[in-house]
Structure 1
Amino acid sequence: MDHFSALSTFVRAAETLSFTETGRRVGLSSSAVGKAIARLEEELGVRLFHRSTRAMTLTAEGSLFLERCNRIFAEFEVAKHELTLAAGKPQGKLRVGLPQLGMKLMPHLIAFQQKYPEVELELEFSDRLVNVIEEGFDAVMRIGEVEDSRLTMRKLNGYSHRLVASPSYLSERGVPIRPSDLSKHSCLRYRYPTSGKLDPWPFVVKAGGGVVDVPASATANAIEPLLAMAESGLGIACIPDFFVEDIVAQGRLVPVLERYVRDHRTFSILWPSSRQPLPKIKVFVEFMAARLS
């Protein structure tokens, strides 16, 4: 049974107290209205109308049911109104997943919140591969490209890594000339919090074809501690360029082995595919793309 249509027919019949008039209003014959009411009564297990050849009135159960139906339709109208508003104005909770290094994007996220104060940002920073749809994310920002037919993707800015160390460290330990020299240095490595694996340093392979073995004197599962240790003279760190460009310009860190580093990674923003994404998602994507493309 189409319950919504059945309830609508019942409410019309309760208003008119006439199957003939109800049928005229809803585009059914009076017999079709009568059958619809009979099916509804059978499902509910009560009589909704007293019927006679002269008149039709609501039973006590029918009056109670009418009150509940009116509430249902009132709530439905409120919901329609709210959705109409939501379809035209960015508002409501926006759940966004970001990688750990996305902390560097906070100035952009703050600017977005200031421009769209009726959008409530819910940010989750994690390097694990979240399931966008099943975990209820409105959008996620990831490193690299993702193949998922359920998601729409837009590429943002790319970035590279730089190997950096403090002037005091290089003065004391010497400047590495080639990647193999790192075996004699203190190297500060990033460890993925979910897998526990070390992030490989992006070197061109050695002439013999082998992979450069980078020792780890200290590890961290966030960029900021590695940056702090490098600035304190504890070793060489591999840091995304947008984290260190100002620090390098100020002379607090010095790049090393630049000719050996070959690295380019891309930020992407993804959201559930839809013919008409919600305004809050649409403006978020456009805002971040304008700032990061």
Structure 2
Amino acid sequence: MADLEDAESALRGREPSGLLRIDAPGTLTRTYILPHLSAFLSKYPKITLQLGQTERLVDLVREGVDCVIRAGAPDDSSMITRHLADIPEITCASASYLASFGTPKSVQDLHDHRMVGFLSSRTGAAMPLEFRVGEQLEEVTLPTVVRANDADTVHHLAREGFGIAQAPKYRFLADLDAGRLVEILPKATPPPMTLAAYYPQNRQLSPRVRVFLDWVVEIFEKAAL
């Protein structure tokens, strides 16, 4: 019934309205979406926005989510993809960690180091560090003393000196500016993180989802990445 109402609203050119359910990582939401949210809701006052803030895989149909924003490709090939941005990633560690273990000058210097393990939601294993060296992509798996499946926790553990971590640069900016974290190996940066919005192809794209997607694309087009 909701899909039929959305289709009728689109055909009649009605103002987008109703509950819009979005799921996106928390730090990304707070960094890029929330600063512009008032303008979006002022333009579309009949939309009510519900924000889920997770990084886990979401069953959009079963959980009633209209679209998700995620890094990488979804496991479900039935999803329609809307590319948003390629966000730079960096490698960093705390100043206290580097004082204890030294600052690596090349990827080859990492053999005496350790990393904060970020557990993959797909495999359950710690994801390797990635480095672009010339035209090659090198993966390095270092020993870990602590692992986590939450990106915010991995960030906090790196700041507390438990090892090297990689993540989108925007996540680390405040700690980099304050000197709590230090970028390392800047000439061998990881590949950028591809960010996209996904929604089911078998669901009527409602006017409220369409205007939200157009708005998010515009945000990232103007963002200083």
TM above 0.5, yes or no, is: yes
Give the C-alpha shift of residue 91 in structure 1. 2.0
Alignment counterpart, residue 112 of structure 1, candidates 37, 47, 59: 37
- Cα distance in 2 for residues equivalent to 1:84 and 1:169: 57
**Structure 1 unaligned runs (5+)?**
1-78
Which position in structure 2 is the counterpart of 1:96?
22
- Cα distance in 2 for residues equivalent to 1:210 and 1:187: 15
Which position in structure 1 is the counterpart of 2:156?
228
Corresponding position: 1:187 with 2:187? no
CA deviation vs aligned residue, 1:178-209 (integer Å, no higher than 9, x gap): 3343332232121135642222211247xxx9
TM-score, normalised with respect to structure 2: 0.75
Decide whether aligned partners of structure 1 residues 174 and 224 sit closer, same or farther in structure 2, where only a CA change above 3 A counts.
same
**Structure 2 unaligned runs (5+)?**
none
RMSD: 3.5
Q: Does the CA contact (< 8 Å) of 1:182 and 1:215 recur in 2? A: no
The higher radius of gyration belongs to 1
- Cα distance in 1 for residues equivalent to 2:87 and 2:114: 25
Q: What one-letter code is carried by the residue in structure 2 that aligns with 1:104?
A: L
Q: What one-letter code is carried by the residue in structure 2 that aligns with 1:181?
A: D
CA deviation vs aligned residue, 1:92-140 (integer Å, no higher than 9, x gap): 2112232x4x432235146336434532223333444334345432111
Structure with bigger helix share is 1
- Cα distance in 2 for residues equivalent to 1:170 and 1:93: 48
Give the C-alpha shift of residue 281 in structure 1. 0.6
Structure with bigger strand share is 2
Q: Does the CA contact (< 8 Å) of 1:112 and 1:284 recur in 2? A: no
CA deviation vs aligned residue, 1:13-63 (integer Å, no higher than 9, x gap): xxxxxxxxxxxxxxxxxxxxxxxxxxxxxxxxxxxxxxxxxxxxxxxxxxx
Corresponding position: 1:214 with 2:139? no
Corresponding position: 1:277 with 2:215? no
The structure with higher relative contact order (CA 8 Å, sep 6+) is: 2
Q: Does the CA contact (< 8 Å) of 1:87 and 1:278 recur in 2? A: no
Regions of 4+ moved over 6 Å: none
